[in-house]
Structure 1
Amino acid sequence: MIERNLERGLFASRWIMAPFYVGLVFALVGLLIKFMQELFHFAVELTRAGEADVVLGILSLIDLSLAGNLLLIVIFSGYENFVSKIDVGDHEDAPDWKGKVDFGALKLKLIASMVAISGIHMLKVFMGLAKYSDRDIMWMTIIHVVFVVTGVLLALMDRLSHAPDGIRPEH
């Protein structure tokens, strides 16, 4: 009986994570506010901006939307993997991947999103090289490469951990 109550308590403790996901929803609202500010700034400056500035503005908006996508992935899949299933019935707008992203896939989606966001940031840096020192560019490039290498290694580890027994890559 003690063991059963302990296990029920441990199982119920997963609900401690729910406020984290609600907090991430507030972060998503904050990101929306920042996106709207950036969109307003972009629209106001559009007629006076040069081609490079227009591309940089668009890249900033894409960067923010990718961060929003990343937050949604973490909110939905984290909640479903660690707290409870999200029951929206057969709602036509439910994402196809909802309920299908396990922890391994979540890690890969997170790192892929980070690589994409980092890549867009690097493109913005390369379009405005005069604004950055060589040292800053070097460190941003190193950090981007670390994200890429980390993503490749995580994907490789995931693939190796799911390989059928007896079928392992040769050394």
Structure 2
Amino acid sequence: MMKQLERWFENGLFASRWLLAPFYVGLIASIGLLLFVFVKTFFESLGKAAAMHVEEAILTVLTLLDLALAANLILVVILAGYEAFVSKIDTEGHEDRPAWMGTTTFSGLKLKLYASIVAISGIQLLKTFMGLGAHPLSGSEMMWMTVIHLAFVVTALLSAVTDYICARAGKSAH
């Protein structure tokens, strides 16, 4: 009786992973939201292209790049997270299947996230330093943006080093 109860409980725990599926559906919708903003920004800029200064063109391109990086980040989280925590995605042999799918570990996913966050933060910082933002920032605000960006960089580096050390320790234990 206890063994049967334990088995039922463990099956329920295992099935609870499907509670994550709506999160991934929401993330897919958020890519749609970013796509809408991307297309809107792109077409608005086309209408102003002839009168645009170089700085405005750079700002627009950096904004579009920022949106594309954010969408890539969300897609990586969706695909890797779903495969790691919910269910395998059966696309074996599909010519467009990314090589990392099915092989990305939680550690690898974390590093991809950090790299994307650092890239997005770097683009925002570049826009600020170029003075291309909607409103100029004070020296103090720019300093804090730089500190926050550097915190992202240091966090990413420390995470990568920690993962490397753990992987090396795991290999030497075998």
Q: TM-score range by the shorter chain?
A: over 0.9
Which blocks of at least 5 consecutive residues in structure 2 are unaligned? none
Number of aligned residue pairs: give it. 168
| SS of equivalent to 2:50 | coil
Deviant stretches of 4+, over 6 Å: none
State the distance in 2 between where 1:128 and 1:164 align.
Answer: 46
Partner of 1:102: 105
Distance 1:146 1:98 in 2: 29
Distance, in Å, in 1 between the alignment partners of 2:169 and 2:163 is 12
Counterpart Cα distance in 2 of 1:48 and 1:70? 33
Match of 2:137 among 102, 112, 132: 132
Letter in 1 for 2:164: R
2:85 is the counterpart of 1:82: yes
For 1:104, what is the secondary structure of its paired residue?
helix
User: Aligned AA for 2:97?
Assistant: A
Whole-angstrom distance in 2 between the partners of 1:36 and 1:156: 39
Counterpart CA distance in 2 for 1:125 and 1:78 is 33
Structure 1 residues 24 and 165, CA, compared in 2 at 3 Å: closer, same or farther? closer
For 1:16 and 1:42, locate their aligned partners in 2 and report how far apart those are by CA, in whole Å.
Answer: 41
Q: C-alpha deviations, 1:2-32, integer Å up to 9, x for none?
A: 1111111111010000110011001110010
Equivalent of 1:18, from 21, 29, 42? 21
Secondary structure at 1:99's aligned position in 2? coil
**Which range is displaced more, 8-17 or 82-91?**
82-91
Matches within 5 A, 1:111-150: 111-128=114-131, 131-150=136-155
| RMSD of equivalent CA atoms | 1.7
Question: Gapped runs of 5+ residues in structure 1?
Answer: none
CA distance in 1, matches of 2:121, 2:159: 17
Is residue 67 from structure 1 mapped to residue 81 from structure 2 by the alignment?
no
Q: 1:4 aligns with which of 4, 7, 14?
A: 7
- Residue 51 of structure 2 aligns to a residue whose secondary structure is coil
C-alpha distance in structure 2 between counterparts of 1:66 and 1:141, whole Å? 20
- Cα shift at 1:88: 2.2
Give yes or no for the alignment of 1:56 onto 2:59.
yes
TM (norm. structure 2) is 0.91
Residue by residue over 1:70-100, the C-alpha shift from the partner in whole angstroms, topping out at 9 and shown as x without a partner, is 0000000000000000112422111121111
Counterpart Cα distance in 1 of 2:116 and 2:17: 26
Query: TM-score, normalized by length of structure 1?
Result: 0.93
